[in-house]
Structure 1
Amino acid sequence: MNIEMSSRIRVRAADATDLPALVAIDAIAAAGDEVRARSIRRWLDQGSVSVAEDPSGILGYGVLEYTFFEQGFVTMVTVSPGARRRGVGARLLQAVEASCSTPKPFTSTNVSNHPMQLLLQQLGWHPAGLVHGLDEADPELFYLCPPERLRPRWIGLGPHRRVGPRTGELPASRWSPRRTPTTEGWPCGS
């Protein structure tokens, strides 16, 4: 990752005017999938979307919801193909960590999505389980953000209660590679 390029990336809360850009960078929505486009619209209406941008425009987006056993769940992280390998996904996940109002943020990805697995491992997210049957022949790997990476903002608060701004900007210096957790025994390997 190029630190100079990463330092120009800013993460902010998305708003309704971002919808066309989000649909354009989401491969499924851009291919005409109305269900995904409606999901993006719903996430925007709920205030669940963070966008990563640089002077050229929006590079990616992440969605944080509280629908997984009342814990934070990163439903989606999407980065424009031209912006990959520049730290955009890392910055989006760091923004989720900084804004999550529950003690256990989770996410998941398909076994076939090796880039996302690598990103989660580099950021120190721990494997938390494997579920078969969501996508045909492509099990879902679940990950948990380690508590030591979270701010103590959720202590004493009920689920969904927020303190301070929903999403803050993160300095590039906050990113650092983390020890890769073991995935031995998982079909994806490491």
Structure 2
Amino acid sequence: MIHMEIHNAKKQDLYKIIELDKKMIGSDHRKEEINQAIKDEKCLIMFQEDEIAAFLIYHTHFFDCSFISLIMVDPAHQRKGLGSSLLTHMTKISPTNKLFSSTNESNESMKKTFIRNHFKKSGFVDNLDEGDPEIIYFKSCY
């Protein structure tokens, strides 16, 4: 696993985070969500030199538990353990005892990342993406 510094995103990081998100999904429609996560100090980033290599957004509105709503790794940095590093860090700093996240059933890479990091399947939600259920994952933080 590669080690890079992980810290809370700052206001000045917003544009670079939005650019990475846009690069991955082809849209900047999550810019307000990202901006709010930065304001709430719930956006973690990893830098490689001067570029944001990965970021994570979480909240605590999922039945009063921490929920990672978004993990994004720049394609140039994928398969290097950045997602795992973010999950490990989040497990250590989670403000709640329980940490949840989710991914589409079709996202084999993220499913493997959750399993490698000792997250357990906790259920699924149908009808978000047609024909591709969302799998919920859980890990105890203490």
TM-score by length of 1: 0.70
Q: State the identity as a percent.
A: 25
Q: Displacement, 1:28? A: 6.5
Q: 1:123 aligns with which of 113, 117, 125?
A: 117
* 2:140 matches 1:132: no
Q: Which sections of structure 1, spanning at least 5 residues, go unmatched?
A: 153-190
Alpha-carbon contact 1:65-1:72 (below 8 Å) kept: yes
Given the superposition, is the C-alpha separation of residues 33 and 83 from structure 1 closer, same or farther in structure 2, using an over 3 Å criterion? Answer: same
Task: Select which of 81, 87, 111 maps to 2:105.
Answer: 111
Larger radius of gyration: 1
Whether contact under 8 Å (1:23, 1:29) holds in the other structure is: no
Partner in structure 1 of residue 78 of structure 2: 84
Aligned residue pairs, count: 142
- Comparing both structures, which one devotes a greater share of its residues to strand? 2
Show the counterpart of 2:54: 60
Specify whether residues 29 and 57 from structure 1 end up closer, same or farther in structure 2 by C-alpha distance, changes over 3 A only: closer
Does residue 33 (structure 1) correspond to residue 28 (structure 2)? The answer is yes
Decide whether the 8 Å contact of 1:53 with 1:59 is kept in 2. yes
Q: Deviations over 1:21-64 (max 9, x none)?
A: 11111147762333x11111111111110001122421010012
Q: Does the 8 A contact of 1:107 with 1:143 survive in 2?
A: yes
Change over 3 Å in CA distance of 1:120–1:30 after alignment to 2: closer
* TM-score normalised according to structure 2 size: 0.92
Q: How do 1:1-190 residues align onto structure 2 when only pairs under 5 Å count?
A: 3=1, 6-7=2-3, 9-27=4-22, 31-34=26-29, 36-145=30-139, 147=140, 150=141, 152=142
